[in-house]
Amino acid sequence: MNPIITASELLSESAGPRPPVLLDIRWQLSLAKAAGAPPFDGRAEYRAGHIPGAVYIDLDNELAGAPGAGGRHPLPDVAAFGAVMRRAGVSVATPVVVYDGGQGWAAARAWWLLRWTGHGDVRVLDGGLAAWGGPLSTQTPDPEPGDFVPVPGALRLLDADAAAALARSGVLLDARAAERYRGDVEPIDRVGGHIPGAVSAPTTENVTPGTTTFLPAQELATRFKRLGAADGMEVGVYCGSGVSGAHGVLALEIAGIPAALYAGSWSEWSADESRPVATGPDPQ
């Protein structure tokens, strides 16, 4: 199954006999807290207008656990995640489409969590809400509860030790901006740099320049093979805290390349002073 869906396809399916459950995951990585400004409020944007029938999901509180030993966005409690999905109307046999404001990171996080916990029919709206040409609604839906019970393990998950090993034995891709990979700047975490052996693969290069829509599958496959993800090579992705890394896993899925996610990512790795840190443009 293609893990992304176009706006025109979504419009058609929503009017069909088996409409998908829609989840609105608007979220932004923001440094506003450090600057003293109010954080981004995805719920307020949702109330101002969303795709009709979409249920808002809070990434920080419903798609992640409390920040701590597992990084800034550790995986949520599985039972709590299942309860959130059921309240949103998610059932095992019902297709799900997730979208965000356009960047794709938050939607990819929701896509990955649902896929990881066993839902087999989840797609991301390519280009997010910005690509939607249909009507918007300000009404909050009250869906019938779903029956989805999450069972983790359908996608591969890495911990810090497995990520370190994969950087030596396969291909570990760093989805953050190149300047953070190099360690030139680090606006959030304790120290800049990257996991030794990891290859820089910014999410901005997964999409068509000037847009937030994914590159065609063949172009993505060419890009990732150029980064070392050759046929049969084991591949993993990490980022700052497991959000944009899911966008990398999604792009690899579009390209036909299975990949694991290191969910703790740099926020977990860099918090442990015993872990080695590489800087500069070279993997080592």
Q: Name which of 14, 88, 17, 93 is nearest 56 in CA terms.
A: 88
Query: How far is it, in rounded angstroms, from Cα 171 to Cα 26?
Result: 30
What residues have CB less than 8 Å from 231, skipping those under 6 apart?
none
Please pick, among 21, 220, 239, 261, the residue that the annotation labels catalytic. Answer: 239
The count of C-alpha atoms lying within 13 angstroms of the C-alpha of 139, restricted to the half-sphere facing its C-beta, is 7
| Contact call for residues 133 and 107 (beta carbons, < 8 A) | no
Query: How far is it, in rounded angstroms, from Cα 81 to Cα 96?
Result: 15
Query: How far is it, in rounded angstroms, from Cα 140 to Cα 145?
Result: 15
H/E run at residue 237: strand 235-238
Query: How far is it, in rounded angstroms, from Cα 206 to Cα 104?
Result: 10
Helix H segments across the chain? 7-14, 32-35, 42-48, 59-62, 78-87, 105-116, 160-169, 178-182, 217-226, 244-254, 265-271
**Residue 6 appears among annotated catalytic residues:** no
Q: Which residues are catalytic?
A: 239
